[in-house]
């Protein structure tokens, strides 16, 4: 067609439309949220090169419009894909948080420890670790004081028994903390590391979504502006044709 009518405006415009499989100019404004848009860039380039000087700006705008629409479709696809990633990350975070709760040390319901733990979720291993050490230290000091008092009052046998009981208290504290609490604390630290990674990935994904949305919005404005310019030029050509 270019060989037959290399400078015919309407022939060139028809070729531009066919390059994107469009039937008429009205279809240019359709599919704002489409996830697919394709056009024959070779044909578009040939049209732009063949257009006479007075029409080159028109077809340059046309070509940019196609490029913007393709990029907008790409952005829409990326946003859809990123939203799926967002759902995947959030689901993984919920699952990880559920696993994390399993490593809290449960307190008996209705007990004062249950109230102190808060929300019924139990004690964080770190808090429980500190509590066990403080409790062990408290009872150990109390038992040593009692043993010292008994020893000074001449009841050394009872004092020795209390001292042995104090040693047993220390062993129980060490056993509970390092045999039960600390392994949970260690696993929770690993889980927290995963959660931090998920949060960083979530933040990055949300940032990318906002960037793509901003880009898509800017492209929409450029597309609307380009269509208005093409429509204005088309109207002017119709007016000139009618005037002639």
Cα–Cα distance, 149 to 152 (Å, whole number): 5
What is the number of structural domains in the chain? 1
Mean pLDDT by 10 residues, the chain (244 residues): 66 91 84 79 92 92 94 94 95 90 72 46 80 84 72 62 73 84 88 93 96 94 92 77 52
Cα–Cα distance, 50 to 235 (Å, whole number): 22
Q: Which of 37, 72, 58, 40 is nearest to 231 (CA)?
A: 58
- Global pTM reads 0.70
Residue 4 lies in a domain: no
Residue 2 lies in a domain: no
The total number of residues written for the chain in this structure: 244
Residue 1 lies in a domain: no
Residue 160 lies in a domain: yes
Domain that holds residue 37: 9-243
Residue 77 lies in a domain: yes
Cα–Cα distance, 138 to 132 (Å, whole number): 10
Question: In the prediction, which pLDDT does 124 show?
Answer: 82
**Is-contact 122 107, C-beta < 8 A?**
yes
Q: Give me the torsion for CA of 210, 213, 219, 224, rounded to 10°.
A: -130
Question: In the prediction, which pLDDT does 144 show?
Answer: 72
Residue 74 lies in a domain: yes
Structure tokens at 202: 């979530």
């Amino acid at each position: 067609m270019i060989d037959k009518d290399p400078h015919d405006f309407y022939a060139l415009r028809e070729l531009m439309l066919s390059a994107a499989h469009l039937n008429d100019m009205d279809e240019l404004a359709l599919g704002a949220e489409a996830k697919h848009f394709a056009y024959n860039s070779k044909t578009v380039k040939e049209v732009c090169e063949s257009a006479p000087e007075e029409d080159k700006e028109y077809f340059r705008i046309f070509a940019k419009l196609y490029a913007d629409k393709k990029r907008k479709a790409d952005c829409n696809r990326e946003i859809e894909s990123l939203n799926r990633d967002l759902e995947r990350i959030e689901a993984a975070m919920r699952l990880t948080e559920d696993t994390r709760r399993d490593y809290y040390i449960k307190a008996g319901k209705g007990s004062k420890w249950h109230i102190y733990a808060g929300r019924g979720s139990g004690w964080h291993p770190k808090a429980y670790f500190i509590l066990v050490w403080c409790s062990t230290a408290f009872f150990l000091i109390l038992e040593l004081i009692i043993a010292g008092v008994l020893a000074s009052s001449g009841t050394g046998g009872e004092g020795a028994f209390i001292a042995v009981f104090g040693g047993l208290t220390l062993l129980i504290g060490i056993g509970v903390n390092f045999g039960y609490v600390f392994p949970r604390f260690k696993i929770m630290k690993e889980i927290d590391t995963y959660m931090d990674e998920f949060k960083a990935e979530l933040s990055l994904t949300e940032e990318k979504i906002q960037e793509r949305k901003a880009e898509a919005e800017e492209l929409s404005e450029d597309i609307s502006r380009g269509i208005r310019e093409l429509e204005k030029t088309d109207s002017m050509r119709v007016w000139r044709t009618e005037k002639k």
